[in-house]
Chains A and B, each alone.
Chain A
């Protein structure tokens, strides 16, 4: 049979004619593999260079159905190649090696390989590899059928949204900030091209990602294997491969975040800085955000103040405040960047979750993120970040890198999220003497916030460790709080100081919630309004921390939380959880929040919520 024949027949007589790309630096093995594959009636292309293979794949993604690659190669590690292919082309990849160590096999799985074969490879094993292609195609078909939209509709589910993910992932690696947008867009488009080969891409919607994160948290990030995650998630049409590749990306994301988080801690202080800084952070991209936040440095007090309302939240999240300092696990999700301020809007929109306030409009709005926290599912770690709304979900990973997940996770549970978690971090960042930004206040959940806010704000002192400075605070305010925050925006700035706002700080510090806080409470009312913005956001919306707490601080005690104020200050407001779940009617008092937060704390474990200041 000539090659052409095979090719033309391939489409009709699948698996006959399936196009395989084989990569192995060992000529003996390569020849053997190629022969075996041809004996199975596949159409085979062989190369001994991984770089050549990638080039071929990049030239035309539709040229191949499947890739088989050796693990040990001189020019490029097999796993690296695997990652590239998974990210860029979304093709099934089978690993091949003479070494069958469990660790290596696991590595293959986590990197997204759909199978792992041992040398010497037998023809029987190769005769069944076409199943991987079919599986993926099927997923694609489902995806394309249902979704077609660029939004994270429910339609997207399983399916390796590699394209999106890839894009996202790549972006994340490089530059979080703009990615968000792109990714979102990608979601929409990627899936198309259903025809060609397979490419069923799973779009990792917020919902899906949330589930994923929940599953991962449940299992523990170290023990999370695709199979178990898949079982826990219990989503139809989601394959292990999808989960595996997503997990891989997620892990990378976490790693990134943790790096960022460290940096962020410093930034927390910066949170005080105002708006501009935050706004940058806003780019919810999450991971990237922190950096920006950090950059802003000013975040501390100053930031708050100037922070545009939306910004507040964002900033607060910024790693610095939130958690970075003392806040628990860097993973904590940063509550959506609060960033709101100006810039964030872009991001926010994307991130949805984080951006709660982006716009100057109430910070709370931006906040949705914080609420998202709930969704995030507390688990502090990691998972939540994913919650970030955006459709891509994956990318969303807490954008705010700094605060990342952990914090956010905490949120998910409690409305207070913001507050409770230490993340409110208000601060920790010491610097701001004035405001300890411990925005903590955000935690308020409905109305109560005020009381909580106080905690938060004053927390700065209390906050001790987590520099949470304002940032943290902001985030705390989960949904409800978010509202409050709005009202109390101003104070946040002040607090910034490092009051590492531990969640307890919030609670404990019975900060005299100024009237402002109370006002916040009012604002909070059902939070969701603000937060919802993104609705999807699950992730913590950028909490605008209102710095009501700053009551104590020199900044100004006016807690008046007027929404406008808040905005100005750029508080981090917690986005009241969209669902408004915990939020007890607005009337709650801070105390409630505090307690809620406390609970949250337990849940989250993480102290600071990294509110992403989606600035």
Chain B
């Protein structure tokens, strides 16, 4: 029990810190609230989807920005827009903020600016992914489960 409590506390603390640092915002809390017996893995599911989607979009953007002939800013913008939507849906605040800046560079058709933003997005995304994975691990533990060990 104590251990569980401890783990739970750990989880809560970690979660709070993520919020504080701006990695997650209120929306994530909403997601957590949505999780219930009917959909016990809801948050993890959504997060996983988000990561997949994020990677895809980042790749798209990188490809588009690498075009030597001429960057199709509309396409980049579309990807950024979508990323913005999904990141805000999941509560990934920092990612979303970068997207906002990214969009204005797209509108200005500023390739350098876009590339910089792309880098930033990638960075934020990695950070977030790590943190969420940690959080989920803690979640499992706090729930009384155990992290499976891969031999």
What chain B residues lie within 8 Å of A123 (beta carbons)?
30, 34
Q: A26-B86, A32-B31, A35-B34 are in contact. Are A98 and B49 (CB under 8 A)?
A: no
Interface string of A72-87 (1 = CB under 8 A from B): 1010000000000000
Number of B residues, CB within 8 Å of A: 22
Judged by a CB distance under 8 angstroms, whether B14 is at the interface is no
* B42→A27 contact, CB < 8 A: no
Judged by a CB distance under 8 angstroms, whether B88 is at the interface is yes
Judged by a CB distance under 8 angstroms, whether B101 is at the interface is no
Judged by a CB distance under 8 angstroms, whether A58 is at the interface is no
Give the residue name and chain of the A residue nearest to B81 (CB): A72
A119 to B82, CA, bound (A): 11
Interface of B toward A, CB cutoff 8 Å: 27, 30-31, 34, 39, 42, 45-46, 49-50, 52-53, 78, 81-82, 84-86, 88-91
* A26→B34 contact, CB < 8 A: no
What chain B residues lie within 8 Å of A70 (beta carbons)?
85
A445 to B31, CA, bound (A): 70
* A29→B34 contact, CB < 8 A: no
Judged by a CB distance under 8 angstroms, whether A31 is at the interface is yes
What chain A residues lie within 8 Å of B82 (beta carbons)?
25-26, 72
* B91→A120 contact, CB < 8 A: yes
Could you list some 10 contacts between A and B, CB below 8 A? A26-B89, A29-B89, A31-B49, A36-B34, A74-B78, A120-B30, A120-B89, A120-B90, A120-B91, A121-B89
* A26→B53 contact, CB < 8 A: yes
Interface string of A363-395 (1 = CB under 8 A from B): 000000000000000000000000000000000
What chain B residues lie within 8 Å of A122 (beta carbons)?
30
What chain B residues lie within 8 Å of A29 (beta carbons)?
85-86, 89
* A98→B34 contact, CB < 8 A: no
A39 to B50, CA, bound (A): 20
Using A26-B82, A28-B90, A99-B81 as known contacts, list a sample of 14 further A-B pairs with CB atoms less than 8 Å apart, ordered by residue number in A.
Answer: A26-B89, A27-B52, A28-B49, A28-B53, A29-B89, A31-B45, A31-B46, A32-B31, A32-B46, A35-B39, A72-B81, A74-B78, A120-B27, A120-B91
A74 to B56, CA, bound (A): 15
What chain B residues lie within 8 Å of A39 (beta carbons)?
34
Give the residue name and chain of the B residue nearest to A39 (CB): B34
Q: For window 20-52 of chain A, which residues contact chain B by CB distance below 8 Å?
A: 25-29, 31-32, 35-36, 39
Give the residue name and chain of the B residue nearest to A74 (CB): B78
Give the residue name and chain of the B residue nearest to A119 (CB): B85
A26 to B87, CA, bound (A): 11
What chain B residues lie within 8 Å of A119 (beta carbons)?
85, 88-89
What chain B residues lie within 8 Å of A28 (beta carbons)?
46, 49-50, 53, 86, 89-90
Q: Is the interface of B mostly helix, strand, loop or mixed?
A: helix
Q: Which of A27, A28, A97, A119 is most buried by chain B, counting CB atoms within 10 A of its CB?
A: A28
Q: Which of A35, A119, A120 is most buried by chain B, counting CB atoms within 10 A of its CB?
A: A120
What chain A residues lie within 8 Å of B52 (beta carbons)?
27
* A32→B89 contact, CB < 8 A: yes
A121 to B81, CA, bound (A): 16
Q: Which of A25, A31, A98 contacts B84 (CB 8 A)?
A: A98
Give the residue name and chain of the B residue nearest to A72 (CB): B81
What chain A residues lie within 8 Å of B53 (beta carbons)?
26-28
A40 to B140, CA, bound (A): 27
Interface string of A183-220 (1 = CB under 8 A from B): 00000000000000000000000000000000000000
A72 to B86, CA, bound (A): 12
Q: Which of B39, B50, B85 contacts A98 (CB 8 A)?
A: B85
Q: For window 98-140 of chain A, which residues contact chain B by CB distance below 8 Å?
A: 98-99, 119-123
* A120→B42 contact, CB < 8 A: no
Give the residue name and chain of the B residue nearest to A124 (CB): B30
Q: A26-B53, A29-B86, A32-B90 are in contact. Are A98 and B46 (CB under 8 A)?
A: no
Q: Which of A31, A72, A97, A120 contacts B78 (CB 8 A)?
A: A72
Closest CB of chain A to B92's CB: distance in Å? 10
Closest CB of chain A to B76's CB: distance in Å? 14
Closest CB of chain B to A274's CB: distance in Å? 52
Give the residue name and chain of the B residue nearest to A70 (CB): B85
A427 to B58, CA, bound (A): 62
